[in-house]
Amino acid sequence: MKSSSRKYIEFGALCGLAVGILWWFGRKLDWGEVRLAVSQSNRYLLGLAVLLICIAYLFRACRWGALLAPLGPTRLSHLFAATTVGFGAVFLLGRMGEVVRPVVLPMRDPGVRASSSFVTIMVERIYDMMAVVVLFAVNLLWFTPPTNSGAEFSRVRIAGIVLLLLSIAGVAGLTWFRRRSSSIIGWFERHLDRLRFIPERFRRALIGVLEQLAKALRVLVDARELAVTIAWTALVWSGIALANWLVLRAFGLRFGISEAIFILGWSLVGSLVPTPGGAAGAFHAATAAGLIFLGVDREAAAAVSIVMHVVDFGPAVVFGFFYFVRGDINLTRLRSMMSPEAVEHAAEDEGIVRDELLLKHHLETATPSE
């Protein structure tokens, strides 16, 4: 009950934050000009942008399947449904909705363990962060800033380089963990066993997650799997960048793909704020700030950011509603699987499976004297 109340309080606080950012974002805008800019946009280009985003969701599902492959195969239709439902939940609930995607997949395919699904989502987030940071940082090498913005652009370039270095350091750390996962997990097991005040369920859950993470990170040390997942990631973000570029062109902005990638970096910063509505307010403010930096007037920048947000998340909401109406998603079961009791039960099952595997390994390798 207490954890449930805390979730409602956190969600209410994030909703308040979103409202505050949206108020700050729109307090000085001429909303008549914003509506006019939206009404004059090219519907055909926006429709093509939506199609590209749908294809990008399909590419996401294919990449998720590649990440899950070391842990067990599953069908593309299940992956696509869980992907779109999950991103629809992110749009409605913010980052709290990220738990929906790894829960929906085991609902559709019981052969997929919930813990495995959660861990691959973590790896996927690393891929996405790295992809956008690398695109943004490399793009800055030949990006031509607007006139009279040299000092500001220097700070942006420094920020991009810092993000790139941090991302590289993070990937290096994960690769090190994967290569030495057995000794690291063993170290955790030995030290956690000494800390008797830590609940057994928590210890089992932590060790289980580390083991699943080590399995999922096999893609970082397997050349073929790494190439496959990087290729899918490149297709995902190429589709998103092209879709965003089409949105810019739909508003008559004569920007190239380089400017679209530049704006994508700003949008990423805004999307890190965990407000409901798919980082509502923060996404719009950050995207509009990037457009204003490029010389776009405030009302047009606001219109573009609003439409770009709808294009990026709208298809996921539509697909999610479709799967819900068709009966593929049972909300009652979904809520029960997301409850703290279900999480504890999954963690307990993970620990039991791990203990059984260890016992089996011990029996197989035991000498007659034992």
Which pLDDT does position 190 carry in this prediction? 79
DSSP of 38-75: HHTS-HHHHHHHHHHHHHHHHHHHHHHHHHHGGG----
Q: Is residue 191 part of a domain?
A: yes
Whether 211 contacts 226, CB under 8 Å: no
CA distance 255 to 258: 8
Q: Which two tokens stand for residue 173?
A: 């750390």
Which pLDDT does position 330 carry in this prediction? 64
Q: Is residue 288 part of a domain?
A: yes
Q: Is residue 55 part of a domain?
A: yes
Which pLDDT does position 151 carry in this prediction? 65
The model's pLDDT over 312-355, given as tens digits with 9 standing for 90+, comes to: 999 999 998 888 888 666 666 666 555 544 444 444 444 444 44
CA distance 273 to 281: 9
Q: Is residue 89 part of a domain?
A: yes
Helices (H), 326-339: 331-337
CA distance 199 to 41: 57
Which pLDDT does position 355 carry in this prediction? 41
Which pLDDT does position 3 carry in this prediction? 52
Domain count, the chain: 1
Which pLDDT does position 192 carry in this prediction? 76
Q: Report the alpha-carbon angle 308-309-314, nearest 5.
A: 105
Q: Is residue 85 part of a domain?
A: yes
Which pLDDT does position 257 carry in this prediction? 92
- Report phi then psi at 258, rounded to 5: -65, -45
Which pLDDT does position 368 carry in this prediction? 42
Q: Is residue 148 part of a domain?
A: yes
Which pLDDT does position 150 carry in this prediction? 60
Longest Cα–Cα distance in the chain: 86
Inter-axis angle of helices 43-68 and 298-325, nearest 10: 50
Is this prediction's pTM over 0.75?
yes
Which pLDDT does position 280 carry in this prediction? 82
Nearest Cα to 91, choosing from 240, 304, 280, 283? 280
**Domain range holding 201?**
2-365
Which residue do the tokens 């990631």 mark?
233
pLDDT < 70 positions in the chain: 1-8, 71, 96, 147-151, 196, 216, 219-220, 327-370
CA distance 63 to 230: 9
Which pLDDT does position 130 carry in this prediction? 83
Q: Is residue 35 part of a domain?
A: yes
Q: Is residue 370 part of a domain?
A: no
